[in-house]
């Protein structure tokens, strides 16, 4: 049978408690617990006694006697003592410290209660609570609840009932409630996806990438619809994406069956219609063979501000916002490939052994390279030469020194005079000028 709690202003029950037995309800008791504003509800049938919260419907505990069926219950007010009237000759007694203290006329129960409290120090259950500091209570305007069952002091803070905390947070910050609803919706969606049986769909052999993309988009749309099933359905103006029904459509079936309709993502027509895909799949030769060089501003930044630059987030933002000053070639191998307008992506993807074998089998052209220079793997060069002896090297150096000494200073050129003693440097001549010859006419 069920126990229903009504509000006199409504015809619908606000709480329903099911005993899970077909026997009728024999007794309903309202019991006020010391230190709590909300009383507990004690209901009994001939099989079980249930103690639960009338406001939330959460069960506190239940009692199932083994000596016989229950006829009635008796609860002592302001205590945790309860008596059950059974079909047998004995009347069992139950003491629940969570409902209240031991009665004053039973010192034995009082002593037992003291021993139990000393042995079990933890009398408060921290489930469904939120720990807050005094500052957090001030922000949420919950300081007036300090000392009640909803807000309990503990060390340097307070334990607050989670439902009260969420209501106060909603009043303080309405946007946080929307975030909470969205978070719960995501959690519900993740649980449904985890419990859902994943079925592998067989993709066609032709245009396999396109078919996989269509299936993934359809699954994402279905998951989004399941997450929004509680909201009001509004007519969507968004254009519907392709679904898996296209595989069964006679107009498009051949597109996934015959190779004549296979999409070539490297063709010029596809790249012209999908510029984003072309930029992702085929990087330019400049990006492949060159490295960007940024202007060195680290030293000026460190001198201007004392803040350390070890934060990786700062480095990412700096690199993202800076424009490369110039591009530097990676190595000689990349320079030669860029000169020939070729890409090394396929060659770099090969294993090292196959790469060396291909380099030995297909030597690179040596146009413009002197004779005797051989190409090696990885853009290396090899040249052979003969070394000279050290004595010959010393003789060459001395000869160079002598030639250099002759060039220094001023000396006679040793040219023959064609003017009969009138040359420059003679003592004779008109005028008797010593050491100077007669100047020729211009």
Burial class of 44 by CB neighbour count within 10 A (0 to 12, 13 to 18, 19+): buried
Angle between helices 174-195 and 208-227 (to 10 degrees): 130
Q: Where are the alpha helices (DSSP H) in 196-274?
A: 208-227, 268-273
pLDDT greater at residue 267 or residue 49: 49
Question: Which candidate, 80, 87, 79, 67, places its Cα nearest to that of 26?
Answer: 87
- Whether 57 and 17 have beta carbons less than 8 Å apart is answered as yes
Q: Is the pLDDT of residue 432 over 50?
A: no
Give residue-wise pLDDT tens across range 285-338: 777 778 887 765 444 444 444 444 445 555 545 555 566 667 788 887 778 887
Question: Which candidate, 54, 56, 48, 93, places its Cα nearest to that of 75?
Answer: 93
Q: Is the pLDDT of residue 171 over 60?
A: yes
pLDDT greater at residue 339 or residue 416: 339
What is the percent of the chain with per-residue pLDDT over 90, rounded to a whole number?
2
Q: Is the pLDDT of residue 282 over 70?
A: no
Give the dihedral sign, CA 163/165/171/173.
Answer: negative
47: tokens are: 């099989």
pLDDT greater at residue 85 or residue 344: 85
- Whether 224 and 217 have beta carbons less than 8 Å apart is answered as no
* pLDDT score for 49: 92
pLDDT greater at residue 118 or residue 351: 351
* Averaged pLDDT, 184-192: 82
């Amino acid at each position: 049978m069920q126990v229903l709690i009504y509000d006199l202003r409504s015809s619908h029950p606000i709480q329903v408690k099911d005993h899970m037995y077909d026997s009728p309800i024999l007794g309903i008791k309202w019991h006020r617990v010391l230190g709590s504003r909300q009383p507990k509800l004690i209901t009994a049938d001939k099989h079980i006694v249930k103690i639960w919260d009338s406001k939330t419907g959460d069960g506190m505990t239940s009692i199932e006697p083994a000596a016989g069926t229950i006829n009635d219950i008796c609860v002592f007010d302001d205590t945790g003592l309860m008596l059950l009237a059974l079909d047998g000759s004995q009347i069992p007694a139950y003491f629940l410290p969570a409902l209240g203290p031991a009665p004053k006329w039973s010192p034995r129960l009082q002593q037992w209660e003291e021993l139990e409290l000393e042995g079990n120090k933890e009398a408060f259950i921290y489930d469904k609570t939120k720990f807050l500091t005094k500052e957090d209570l001030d922000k949420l305007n919950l300081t007036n609840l300090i000392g009640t069952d909803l807000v309990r002091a503990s060390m340097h803070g307070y334990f607050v009932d989670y439902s009260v905390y969420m209501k106060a947070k909603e009043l303080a910050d309405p946007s946080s409630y929307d975030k909470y609803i969205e978070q719960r919706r995501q959690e519900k969606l993740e649980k449904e996806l985890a419990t859902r049986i994943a079925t592998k769909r067989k993709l066609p052999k032709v245009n396999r990438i396109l078919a996989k993309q269509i299936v993934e988009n359809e699954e994402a749309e279905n998951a989004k619809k399941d997450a929004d099933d509680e909201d009001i359905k509004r007519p969507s103006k968004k254009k519907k994406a392709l679904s898996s029904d296209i595989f069964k459509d006679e107009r498009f079936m051949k597109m996934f069956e015959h190779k004549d309709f296979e999409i070539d993502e490297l063709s010029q027509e596809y790249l012209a219609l999908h510029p984003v895909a072309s930029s992702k799949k085929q990087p330019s030769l400049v990006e492949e063979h060159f490295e960007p060089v940024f202007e060195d501003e680290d030293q000026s930044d460190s001198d201007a501000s004392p803040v350390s630059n070890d934060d990786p987030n700062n480095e990412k933002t700096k690199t993202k916002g800076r424009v490369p000053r110039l591009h530097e070639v990676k190595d000689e191998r990349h320079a030669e490939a860029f000169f020939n307008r070729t890409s090394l992506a396929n060659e770099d993807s090969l294993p090292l052994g196959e790469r060396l074998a291909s380099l030995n089998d297909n030597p690179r052209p040596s146009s413009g390279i002197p004779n005797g220079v051989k190409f090696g793997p990885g853009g290396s060069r090899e040249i052979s030469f003969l070394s000279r002896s050290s004595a010959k090297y010393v003789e060459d150096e001395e000869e160079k020194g002598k030639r250099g000494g002759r060039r220094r200073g001023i000396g006679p050129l040793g040219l023959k005079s064609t003017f009969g003693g009138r040359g420059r440097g003679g003592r004779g001549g008109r005028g008797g000028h010593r050491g100077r010859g007669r100047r020729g006419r211009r």
